[in-house]
Amino acid sequence: MANIKPFSLFPTISDSLLSNRFDQIDRLFSQLTGSRPIASPVQTYDLKQIDDSHYELTVSVPGYQESDLTVSLKGGRLLVEGKREEKSQEDNEKWLHRGISYGQFTLQFDLGKNVRIEKADLSRGLLTVAIEYELPEEEKPQLIAIENKDKN
């Protein structure tokens, strides 16, 4: 079992190591038969540290609308979820290739308890989440005044 870091910006992986093999097999059969893979691809993301207390998470979500996405923070865990329904297919349509993913995804990040989400923006297929790490008052450095007892 992996150790949980109190402030980890790496996503929590819920699938087993074998799931990657099943995805590869699924893609192989999809190429042979022309049908779509069962498993949806993992959303790609970038994580940038702005300064000591500010971070920016950018998730690639092409084709998603605001209503398709949810960003939530509970107990120090950031959840980015998306769900997009596949458009209905006409009877006379024949797809030669279908590479646009539909379905749902979830990204989880264990951020710790002293984190605040400043905002989330969606623009041109990129969801950007501004994250602030707030240091508690008791952990902030304190400057202690020194008294000179020799002075009268």
Name, in order, each residue with C-beta under 8 angstroms of 146's C-beta and a sequence gap of 6 or more: none
Name, in order, each residue with C-beta under 8 angstroms of 102's C-beta and a sequence gap of 6 or more: 40, 84, 85, 86
What are the tens digits of pLDDT across the range 68-123?
999 999 988 999 999 988 877 777 888 788 777 778 889 999 888 889 999 999 99
What are the tens digits of pLDDT across the range 30-75?
666 655 555 555 789 999 999 988 999 999 999 899 999 999 999 8
What domains are there in the chain, each with its CATH number?
Answer: 42-84+103-137 (2.60.40.790)
Residue with tokens 């994580």: 47
| Reported pTM | 0.63
Query: Which is higher by pLDDT, 12 or 27?
Result: 27
pLDDT of residue 11: 54
Torsion of CA 119, 122, 126, 128, to 10 degrees: 0
pLDDT of residue 103: 82
Residue 125 pLDDT class (50, 70, 90 cuts): very high
pLDDT of residue 4: 40
Query: Which is higher by pLDDT, 140 or 26?
Result: 140
Q: Which of 57, 59, 75 is nearest to 115 (CA)?
A: 75
Q: Which of 73, 60, 87 is nearest to 119 (CA)?
A: 73
The DSSP code for 65 is -
Burial of 86 (0-12, 13-18, 19+ CB in 10 A): exposed
